[in-house]
A and B are shown apart, each in its own frame.
Chain A
Amino acid sequence: AQSVTQPDIHITVSEGASLELRCNYSYGATPYLFWYVQSPGQGLQLLLKYFSGDTLVQGIKGFEAEFKRSQSSFNLRKPSVHWSDAAEYFCAVALNTGFQKLVFGTGTRLLVSP
């Protein structure tokens, strides 16, 4: 069965430092890939998505992610973190056949230190 792994439960980054959040998936074929962000007490908001084509995708709020087929990874990056980026981040995948259901990772909570 398909699965998504986010190996880091918590990450603390200093404001202004770079960020990379890891995501690995388990599928037979290339899935559709998503990163969502959840601010405290809020619903989820889509940051970016990958369906096909260029493996480096740009999203909102200055985030980007790179799909690496050989590593089954879709890591999220930001060159300079802002205090407002503190939130929980979820990676999700969907099969690219039939009806699309998302399978979510367990999330990574980002803390930003001054």
Chain B
Amino acid sequence: NAGVTQTPKFQVLKTGQSMTLQCAQDMNHNSMYWYRQDPGMGLRLIYYSASEGTTDKGEVPNGYNVSRLNKREFSLRLESAAPSQTSVYFCASSEQRQSTYEQYFGPGTRLTVT
């Protein structure tokens, strides 16, 4: 059981380049999330997918798009990277049943935009 996996672990982009961050979970969870983590800001929700086939904006969605490819996979795309998107990105998944709202996190992707 790998849990939540993310690729790549590290990435350096130039301003204006595009890339897709991949996330997969093997826990059969319905819900998946993308966060960014910046110093002094905690984790902020970018987008989430309550269930396969649905996606919704979180707190900081501007500059990002997502795709819930299937129940396992949830990708985050930066169409035109900006230095302000330099951050550590975390994917998470969870169930949405009573008393089981725990989110399980991947190891993160450290992205630098120059």
Which residues in A have some Cβ–Cβ distance to B below 8 Å? 4, 9, 32, 34, 36, 41-46, 49, 51, 90, 94, 99-102, 104-107
| Bound CA–CA A42/B105 (angstroms) | 9
List residues of chain B with CB within 8 A of the CB of A106. 40-42
Closest approach, in angstroms, between the C-beta of B75 and any C-beta of chain A?
A: 17
**Total inter-chain residue pairs, C-beta < 8 Å:** 51
Given contacts A43-B4, A44-B103, A101-B58, 20 further A-B pairs with CB under 8 A are A4-B42, A41-B107, A42-B107, A43-B90, A43-B108, A45-B105, A46-B103, A51-B99, A90-B42, A94-B101, A99-B31, A99-B50, A99-B96, A100-B101, A101-B33, A101-B48, A102-B103, A104-B43, A106-B41, A107-B42
List residues of chain B with CB within 8 A of the CB of A94. 101
**Number of residues on chain B facing chain A (CB within 8 A):** 25
The listed residue with most B CB atoms (<10 A of its CB), out of A51, A90, A100, A105, is A100
Closest approach, in angstroms, between the C-beta of B89 and any C-beta of chain A?
A: 11
List residues of chain A with CB within 8 A of the CB of B33. 101
Which residues in B have some Cβ–Cβ distance to A below 8 Å? 4, 31, 33, 40-45, 48, 50, 58, 90, 92, 94, 96, 99, 101-108
Known: A42-B107, A43-B105. A90 touches B43 (CB 8 A): yes
List residues of chain B with CB within 8 A of the CB of A34. 102
In the complex, which residue of chain B has the Cβ closest to the Cβ of A106? B42
Known: A43-B90, A43-B107. A104 touches B102 (CB 8 A): no
| Bound CA–CA A42/B1 (angstroms) | 18
- List 26 interface pairs A-B (beta carbons < 8 Å), by A numbering: A4-B42, A32-B101, A34-B102, A42-B108, A43-B4, A43-B90, A43-B106, A43-B108, A44-B90, A45-B105, A46-B102, A46-B103, A49-B102, A51-B99, A90-B42, A99-B96, A100-B94, A101-B33, A101-B45, A101-B48, A102-B103, A104-B42, A104-B43, A105-B42, A106-B40, A106-B41
